[in-house]
Amino acid sequence: MSTITIYHNPACGTSRNVLGLIRNSGEEPIIIEYLKTPPDRDTLKALIAAMGVPVRSVLREKGTPYAELGLGDPKWDDEQLIDFMLQHLILINRPIVVTPLGTRLCRPSETVLDLLPQPQRGAFNKEDGEPVVNTEGRRV
């Protein structure tokens, strides 16, 4: 059983890069495509609490109904923002990765390296060709 879980969107380049870095460490994570299998309210709240970040920092703006829903307005409290995320799953920023070393929103994708229990096993380049890890498995 894997000790790593990724809340993943396969249409997202950052999410695909994070998944690649997890696999490059020799782990096959539990992959939750959260748009198809959304977290329930308690799970989403637990993930946010485990990250130790404000609810607003998990909201995705780009490519979402964030602006049209007026979510930048400070009138919305955390519970209301979570309601919006559960109604419009695309508002949940990704990828969120859970490992024995912590839980984090992994943007940029290199952020995941701090959460992986095992070192990188070889070179890794992002989809755009940007090197992240060298042939010795060290961060570039």
Which residues are tagged catalytic?
Answer: 12
List the beta bridge partners of residue 32. Answer: 7
Cα of first residue to Cα of last residue in the chain, in angstroms, is 30
Vertex 130 angle, CA 128 and 8, to 5°: 60
Sheet with 5-8, strands from edge to edge, namely 30-33, 5-8, 96-99, 102-105
Measured in degrees and rounded to the nearest 5, phi and psi for residue 24 equal -70, -15
> Residue 19 corresponds to which tokens in the numbers above?
């998944």
Tokens 């995320």 found at: 85
State the DSSP H helix or E strand holding residue 125, giving kind and residue range, or none if neither. strand 124-125
